[in-house]
């Protein structure tokens, strides 16, 4: 069952004026005409309208509050929320690249993915990035809430714009990687050379000794 108060960003005890102000603000933000008729904004605009039409009518709101209260009592878990997994098909992309998010949560009756809005406890969403921030990043944040316990867990994903990604190399690592090590002489080879040198030295000494005797 949909949480209309959450759609409008208001509290369950919000006044009629609060409902109207929230509706005007959100309908302007999500109106399809201002967002190139994007499917996401179109769907959110419909949800906002649905929430407003229900909550602004006194009788419809009373019936909704009763039904929603029963729904919450029947659905809520007494365990804290948990995000089992949350990942994207890629974390490096250019503008317009198609990216798919995957997520799975447990014991959360309210799941929100910023900047997209409310989502199911588990699922996937495919989208295209229109703009990155000044640092060439686009952040997606998953909020999983158990409203009964009033506890929320959060996990984020940062997607980097490939056209602005700079590979930084540590100068010391670069120097070490490109410095040719001097070849070392194995210990046993070194010993053999000294042994041969000593033999030749002894032979030379003996030759000199006998030459002097002669």
**What separation in angstroms does the CA of 201 have from each of 174, 187, 204, 208?**
47, 21, 5, 11
Could you tell me if 2 and 55 lie in one domain? yes
Domain limits at 92?
76-164
Could you tell me if 83 and 154 lie in one domain? yes
Number of domain units in the chain: 2
DSSP-derived letter for residue 88 is: E
**Residues 144-200: tens digit of each pLDDT:** 998 888 899 999 999 999 864 443 434 443 343 333 334 444 444 545 666 677 777
**Residues 80-131: tens digit of each pLDDT:** 899 999 999 999 999 989 999 999 999 898 899 999 988 988 999 999 998 9
Could you tell me if 44 and 107 lie in one domain? no
CATH of the domain at 142: 2.60.40.10
d(CA 26, CA 21): 9
Contact 63, 98 (CB under 8 A): no
């Amino acid at each position: 069952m949909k949480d209309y108060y959450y759609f409008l960003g208001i509290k369950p005890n919000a006044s009629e004026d609060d409902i109207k102000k929230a509706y005007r603000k959100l309908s302007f933000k999500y109106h399809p005409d201002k967002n190139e008729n994007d499917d996401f904004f179109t769907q959110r605009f419909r949800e906002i309208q649905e929430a407003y039409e229900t909550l602004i009518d006194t009788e419809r709101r009373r019936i909704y509050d009763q039904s929603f209260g029963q729904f919450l009592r029947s659905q809520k878990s007494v365990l804290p929320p948990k995000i089992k997994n949350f990942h994207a098909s890629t974390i490096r992309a250019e503008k317009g690249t198609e990216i798919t998010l995957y997520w799975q949560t447990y014991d959360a009756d309210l799941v929100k993915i910023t900047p997209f809005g409310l989502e199911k406890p588990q699922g996937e969403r495919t989208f295209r990035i229109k703009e990155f921030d000044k640092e060439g990043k686009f952040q997606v944040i998953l909020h999983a809430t158990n409203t009964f316990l009033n506890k929320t867990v959060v996990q984020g994903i940062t997607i980097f714009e490939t056209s602005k990604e700079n590979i930084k190399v540590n100068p010391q690592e670069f120097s070490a990687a490109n410095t040719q090590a001097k070849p070392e002489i194995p210990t046993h080879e070194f010993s053999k050379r000294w042994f041969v040198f000593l033999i030749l030295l002894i032979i030379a000494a003996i030759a000199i000794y006998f030459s002097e005797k002669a």
